[in-house]
A and B are shown apart, each in its own frame.
Chain A
Amino acid sequence: MDLISLIIIFALSLFIGYEVITKVPPTLHTPLMSGSNAISGIVIVGAIIIASNANGLLSTILSVFAVILATINVVGGFMVTDRMLAMFKKSKSKE
């Protein structure tokens, strides 16, 4: 993709992010942080790409280390968010 397309994507995503996130109620701000943390684990895609190209010892170690860090972020982030959200329950009388 050319540079200007990427910059357009970047700017529009910031606006979408702003609009979507401001709708999240304060009650869910902690799951929002851990969940968006998991989404920032998308750098796992970058880690996979570099690990696929690595062909020396040091470069393999470096890139696999990036894969490990990003995987912790993705797996841990989504799972802990799910664990928290499972606890949020409505009061019985209003069910």
Chain B
Amino acid sequence: MLEISSNIENIFYLLSASLFIIGLKRLASPATARNGNRLASVGMLIAIIITILKYTNTNFEWIIIGFFIGGILGLVLSRYVQMTAMPQLVAVFNAFGGGASALVAIYQLMYSREPITGTFTLASIAFATVIGSLTFTGSFIAFGKLQGIVSTRPILLPLRNYLNLILLIAIIVFAIILSIPNISSINFLYILIGLSLIVGLLIVIPIGGADMPVVVALLNSYSGIAGAGAGFVLNNPVLIISGSLVGASGLILTRIMTKAMNRSLANVMLGGIGVADGSTQSGSDENRPVKSLNTEDAAMILGYAESVIFVPGYGLAVAQAQHQINELANLLKDKGTNVKYAIHPVAGRMPGHMNVLLAEANVPYDELKDLDEINSEFDRTDVAVVVGANDVTNPTARTDSSSPIYGMPILNVDKAKSVIVLKRSMASGFAGVENELFFLEKTNMLFGDAKDSIEGMTREIRDLD
């Protein structure tokens, strides 16, 4: 513990916060992003060191033990997680961040040296405790659903919306009571903790597997906001700045995901779609003919194309075919074909997930194009190859106002000169809607396992020469 004035402390916190902002700014391009992440981690180190120097006295050894345990766990988790499991990892990190913020707030009320009497500080404690606790349990349920431990089907309790409403009102009431200095008591904090942990469970349990990207992004935002709340509790500006940066980030990503799914946030949170609405759709004419072909024919079409766009969906990752598609793309590029990838925002299990999975398979990032970039290019493209994607390619979203996916931003695959769809069967996607793309004259279906099909095409194209 050194004599450090709070002005000097705050100068160092300002330095940390600046490094976080510059670091995030450097995420604007893949070329500078890695450096940006390192700058942010330096900012974190500075904040940690100045805090230890100023505050730590008696419990230094315990703090070091905490660093050691947390550091080892963080190291192991980050080193050995599969890229496909990234959403689960982020969910777990959200839980820890929210949990730590809640613990800081709870601790302040229970053990602070001077009793806390300010209304604003008490309200901040209530706020950080509530958001942190519900982020903690909500994120673990999200983790469970992503990992397949908890059923990914929306679990719909009867009267759940009334139950949530009652719990929410109870939380607000107890938070207000806790914030009034004369009647405030630690018991109200315990009640708040309990209620918030329950609400965290209840708001994530009814949400379907397909909506998980939205939930993970939202919980990411909450973990930041809880951190900002802890900053108000401790009067600490660096917590407030960083927490609000993360809160803003999570909210922006949440909005991007709901827009890409054509849903409102309220619609996702009240639960439902994921599976339930689908069954009503599959009626009319299921037995319409589609054209199918074998790998040899598909290889002929691809081998003589000048431009090819791959449209990967999560089915690609499920089939573990990222490396195979890169191999096929490299073969085509060697023949002089122009190759790009069209990535829909919800192609993976979290925002930007598919890009990471393809980057892992050595696909160059400048070939990964998002919706706005690529959609004008389909009509100039010879072949679009759809692998494991469905709803996001359905032209019905543009044309049929009665369709449940009407208005959803889609990839205009149907505008390409010809289309090859790799698919296991004719089963419909998450929305349970027939994909009109499959029935077009220019579309050929290549049925089977995506990995085998891609390997087959690669082999056949090699034989063409």
Contact = CB atoms under 8 A, between A and B. Distances in A.
Interface of A: 1, 3, 5-6, 9-10, 13-14, 16-18, 20-56, 59-60, 62-92, 94
Given A31-B27, A39-B40, A64-B62, 5 more contacts: A37-B223, A44-B100, A52-B58, A59-B107, A87-B359
A29 B299 CA distance: 34
A37 B97 contact: yes
Contact of B73 (A72, A83, A88, A89): A72
A34 B34 contact: no
Contacts, number: 369
Given A21-B248, A31-B27, A75 B71 contact: yes
A40 B96 CA distance: 10
Interface of B: 1, 10, 16, 20-21, 23-25, 27-31, 33-34, 36-38, 40-41, 44, 47-48, 51-52, 55-59, 62-63, 65-67, 69-71, 73-75, 77-79, 81, 83, 86, 89-90, 93-94, 96-97, 99-101, 103-104, 106-108, 110-113, 120, 216-217, 220, 223-224, 226-228, 230-250, 252-253, 256, 343, 345, 348, 350-353, 355-356, 359-360, 362, 364-368, 370
Contacts of B365: 27, 88-90
B256 to A, nearest CB: 8
B242 A37 contact: no
Contact of A73 (B74, B104, B247, B362): B74
Contacts of A78: 37, 40-41, 44
B33 A85 contact: yes
7 contacts: A17-B244, A24-B27, A30-B348, A33-B249, A46-B101, A62-B103, A88-B359
A63 B241 CA distance: 22
B244 A14 contact: yes
B51 A48 contact: yes
A72 B96 CA distance: 8
Q: Is the interface of A mostly helix, strand, loop or mixed?
A: helix
B103 A63 contact: yes
A64 B20 CA distance: 25
B71 A71 contact: yes
B66 A51 contact: yes
Given A17-B247, A40-B224, A88-B359, A30 B351 contact: yes
A24 B253 CA distance: 10
Contact of B248 (A17, A23, A62, A76): A17
Given A89-B364, A91-B366, A42 B66 contact: no
Contacts of B90: 30, 33-34, 37
A32 B71 contact: no
A49 B352 contact: no
Nearest to B77: A76
Contacts of B235: 1, 6
A68 to B, nearest CB: 4
A46 B244 contact: no
Given A9-B240, A24-B28, A91-B367, A17 B249 contact: yes
A42 B96 contact: no
B55 A37 contact: no
A73 B30 contact: no
B82 to A, nearest CB: 11
A28 B359 CA distance: 11
A81 B355 CA distance: 14
A22 B252 contact: yes
Report the 7 A-B pairs with minimum CB-CB distance, sorted nearest first: A71-B70, A29-B352, A17-B248, A75-B74, A67-B66, A76-B74, A91-B364
Contacts of A14: 244, 247-248
Nearest to B60: A52
A9 B463 CA distance: 64
